[in-house]
A = this chain, B = another copy of it.
Amino acid sequence: MSIFENSERTNLNEIGEFGLINHLTQSVVLTQPSSIKGIGDDAAVLDFTNKKTLISTDLLLENVHFDLRYVPLKHLGYKAIQVNLSDIYAMNGIASQVTISIGLSSKFPLEAVEEIYEGALLACQNYNVDLIGGDTSTSTQGLVISVTSIGYAETDAIAYRSSAKEGDLICVSGDLGGAYVGLQLLEREKQIYLENPNIQPDLEGKDYIIERQLKPEARKDIVELLAAMDVKPHAMIDVSDGLASEILHICKASNVGCKLYEEKIPIDPMTYETAREFGLDPTVCALSGGEDYELLFTVAQSDYDKLKNNMEISIIGHITEAAEGCTMVSKSGNVHEIKAQGWNAFS
């Protein structure tokens, strides 16, 4: 289970920082018309003439955001990019470039870094973005990954958190809670493994929720779908900390309230069943679990007909005036105030 069991090992000390950068970036090709100059100078040069530029950045730290005991390095590289691209899509923009900085102990062999990079490059390829820069360094402790995404949008297309309007429909892509339940499963298997390394992990039939945790996919397709349907989302955010936390961000920024319907929240059957196995309420997993990287957005009621039959989009409630507060109507018909219990990076 350890990455250090790898039989091929090239010591990072031997090749040095510049050697490592050259080695890792030799296969990087620029494909975006907006990428004028990528890796290899003091800064990258981009051309966003007539478009607005979008920038987002994330920091991923070992034992805080990921556990190398069950996260394969290639998946980690892939996820690091996805998580950050998700923020560009959440502006209703198109991601076009990323930078990735990696800090890692010199106990890591070159092959381990290559795997992280391979995953990152695969994500870039799948999402049609260029890797244009970054930084590599030794780290005296854990693995550190910092990603910055760059994208663009027409001024009128940008969907801020603050643009939700009273009467808007609240929509979410895909399904929720899966990444969190997948994490519970991985944590359980880790404990079993730590207690008895001879027992193999039992993840049989749980592929979907494991993948939701280890290999999330940012919803570029939703941005493209909305454009194709000529639907302009009013407010939009990505679901990284759980539905509750995100809808509260939109309501606060837009100075509105909301009413969600529990029965409308999309939860995959495997998420539902596995949550139950763990004694967890599936709705709570969707509201507070986080890491789903779906898009939560509001649209005008007049867009209802365009969206109502789309399998990828669920209409889960509507925006109210601020005085009505942020509430959810439970399956039994009770009205609850929505509270953020999302992941707190300092707890």
Contact = CB atoms under 8 A, between A and B. Distances in A.
B52 A103 contact: no
Given A59-B135, A141-B141, A45 B49 contact: no
Contacts of A236: 42
A55 B144 contact: no
A151 interface: yes
A38 to B, nearest CB: 10
B43 A47 contact: no
Contacts of A162: 41
26 contacts: A16-B347, A17-B345, A37-B160, A40-B161, A41-B161, A41-B162, A42-B90, A43-B55, A43-B88, A44-B55, A45-B91, A46-B52, A55-B132, A55-B150, A56-B133, A57-B99, A57-B146, A59-B103, A63-B140, A64-B139, A99-B148, A103-B144, A106-B346, A138-B346, A140-B141, A146-B146
Given A47-B53, A59-B101, 12 more contacts: A40-B161, A41-B160, A42-B88, A43-B56, A43-B87, A45-B54, A45-B153, A49-B49, A59-B135, A61-B140, A141-B141, A141-B142
Contacts of A64: 103, 137-140
Interface residues of A, number: 74
Interface of A: 12-13, 15-17, 20, 36-37, 40-50, 52-59, 61-65, 86-88, 90-91, 93, 97, 99, 101-103, 106, 132-142, 144, 146, 148-151, 153, 158, 160-162, 236-238, 253, 344-347
A61 B345 contact: no
Contacts of A103: 59, 61, 64, 144
A346 B55 CA distance: 30
